[in-house]
Chain A
């Protein structure tokens, strides 16, 4: 469960990213967070992974109050939140297998265990036969699937997908959404930050609309309304 209580983020006097927002996201939910550029979506993501700290308010993930999280606890938080980005953020000099294994390696996972987990993750995203390829040898959709596999490496309770379909055509975008839905079916909370109207409307899941740093709409089985 993600609990956000009265969170405000002020960068400067003229730059207020979030204004006193409160929301509850239950474990296992699939929530789309929509809004125009500058609405506060990215700031919200940064607060969730403790890249930023709120100016005011409280954020809890499960029973963990991350509002004033200690620096040395941040890596452990990030292992519980899988991040997916529009630009995939893959390491070009590593193969598909190595990119996924990398997330486990930096966490100190044993090599034997990595050798077991990585093929399973590649199986989930349908890239078992591409494990030796480099990112530049893959299509955009395939690269995003590698990023998804990597985000699942720590078996996170939450997946935050920031515009995962932004660089993809309709078919690949649909494939990515299907994978996210599959992950959600396994019980993982999915937060989808997107501009893609078709994707949001097709999902029929909860939609939170941000505008000017405020939550202006929070609909169960909602639609893209802006």
Chain B
């Protein structure tokens, strides 16, 4: 217990005496954590954006005006039987007409032309949602059978296909880039932190030598540096978390404009708080402790 207290005392003394180096070490760790979080934030936003776009994509099947309720219900039943389909909505011919009128309420010419017609020119519309955008192709093919050709006037999916492919492509590349950047930042940070801690320990070479001469055990010499690593890790994570939440406070209002479903990075961080900060803390701790042990190895040679 006495030794533990002294190890803590020496650790705080070292931090105080080498304030400049301690400050630099914490600063570099903070920059590393912030960089990694910036990349994670970008990834979260990208994923959310893709999910939003995916959610907005669907296949609209426009029935011809002569399609009756039995035809429509049969087709709905047929489409719903596919395991890839998560939802099928039906809009009646009247509601399609109402919706059309609503959309063009300011276009007098269009409304006049519509009034000239005796009957509703629109048929019902079926809106199909699938689990994945890639599933739409299968549904489209399933509808391309001769018996339904006369019932279906148009299908709207083709317009989104290219856009979805592009988004998917961008997402995949973005994920690879983020992973690469995290790895690169990790390597750079390791080298910087390792050298900073090594420099801090080198400045105390004389003190370590004296500790050895007066009979300090290796663990007693090593202890304060391990404790320092722990303090650096806790301090850098605490400050980083503060900065991250402060930054989110300013970023979230902009995100709320883009994402109408209420997505915010603060919510994302709150829901993943243990994973995000826990894993980062463990990484920072391992980084600082390993750096300390490697840097001390030479000084502790008997």
Contacts and interface: CB of A to CB of B under 8 A. Distances in A.
Contacts of B217: 72, 75, 106
Nearest to A74: B302
A78 B213 contact: yes
B302 A111 contact: no
Interface in B186-230: 206-207, 209-218, 220-221
A89 B213 contact: yes
Contacts, number: 60
Interface string B124-136: 0000000000000
Interface in A102-124: 102-103, 105-111
Given A51-B302, A106-B220, A89 B215 contact: no
B269 to A, nearest CB: 42
A91 B207 contact: yes
A117 to B, nearest CB: 14
Interface residues of A, number: 28
Contacts of A108: 2-3, 6, 220
Nearest to B13: A93
B297 interface: no
A106 B218 contact: no
A76 interface: yes
B215 A76 contact: yes
Contacts of B215: 75-79, 103, 106-107, 154
Give the contact-size bracket for chain B.
Answer: 10 to 19
Contacts of A159: none
Interface in B100-134: none
Contacts of A50: 302
Contacts of B209: 89
B1 to A, nearest CB: 10
A78 B214 CA distance: 6
B17 A71 contact: no
Given A71-B218, A89-B206, A106 B2 contact: no
Contact of B214 (A71, A72, A106, A110): A106
A89 B210 contact: yes
23 contacts: A49-B213, A72-B217, A72-B218, A74-B302, A76-B215, A78-B212, A78-B213, A78-B214, A89-B210, A89-B213, A91-B207, A93-B17, A105-B6, A106-B214, A106-B215, A107-B214, A107-B215, A108-B3, A108-B6, A108-B220, A110-B2, A111-B2, A153-B214
Q: Nearest 9 pairs between A and B by C-beta?
A: A106-B216, A79-B215, A103-B214, A78-B215, A75-B215, A75-B217, A108-B3, A105-B6, A83-B213
Given A74-B302, A153-B214, 19 more contacts: A51-B302, A71-B218, A75-B216, A76-B215, A77-B215, A78-B215, A83-B213, A89-B206, A89-B209, A89-B213, A102-B210, A102-B211, A106-B6, A106-B214, A106-B215, A108-B220, A109-B2, A110-B2, A154-B214
